[in-house]
Amino acid sequence: MAKAWRPGEHGAAALLKTFLGGPVKDYAEQRNMPAVPGTSRLSPHLHFGEISPRQIWHAAPEWRSTQFITEIGWREFAHHLLYHFPRTTNAPLRPDFERFPWRENAADLLAWQHGRTGIPLVDAGMRELWETGWMHNRVRMVVASFLVKNLRMHWLNGARWFWDTLVDADLASNTLGWQWAAGCGADAAPYFRVFNPASQADKFDPQGEYQRRWLGNGPRPAPIVDLKASREEALAAFKTLRS
């Protein structure tokens, strides 16, 4: 934690200066590459009020039409949703998801939490989270999809684990993100979107640098689930909501 972060306004200002001095130029292309320092990492500072969206807006006039500022806007949208729908911290925005057939399996949940699923990109992300209190956004989507789709576990299991472990654990953004992954929130991912961790790794970590950084080169556990079979089971379960 001490190596990963410099808390306070000065740390936030230094990160913003570094980001605007270089990485922001390639943000649209590199923000999905977890091995590359292509994101601002300002989320914890935003959460604790050490920097504000307005400060970022005024500091980045030439980048206001970029994807980076759009992501700041999504954060504000999350707070808008939480204000108008406060029940969504514990309940789906879409009421029909109250009857979704979620699985319960304590061993699988524990394996996911501690990066022992046998799925390299998922395990790398969960170990980055455990050691640094942060996880790359692309990997957050992958580990979330794996939990709610491949393991078919309730999104609250993921939301609560992220709340306990993220240094940027923002209630509004956390709720929006997990309901998006589960398909039960506003502007949610369609139920048939299931991130394949293997193809995501091939596309966004093609050299395996990020995965090696957090997993090393030692032996890895066997996969706790078959990706193809679990995807088909998830799609079948989601289709029950339409009947």
Q: Which residues are catalytic?
A: 71, 74, 102, 137, 155, 178
Output the CA torsion sign for 167, 117, 204, 148. Answer: negative
In angstroms, rounded to a whole number, what is the distance separating the alpha carbons of residues 36 and 188?
27
* Structure token digits, residue 81: 């949703």
Specify whether the CB–CB gap between 189 and 181 falls below 8 A: yes
Question: CA-CA distances (angstroms) from residue 8 to 11, 15, 68, 156, 207?
Answer: 5, 11, 22, 30, 35
DSSP secondary-structure letter at 42?
A: -
User: Following DSSP, what letter does each residue of 73-110 receive, concatenated?
Assistant: HHHHHHHHHHHH-GGGGTS-SSGGGGG---B--HHHHH
| Amino acid identity, position 135 | M
Q: Look at residues 128, 161, 165 and name the one whose alpha carbon lies nearest to residue 3.
A: 128
DSSP SS3 for 211: helix
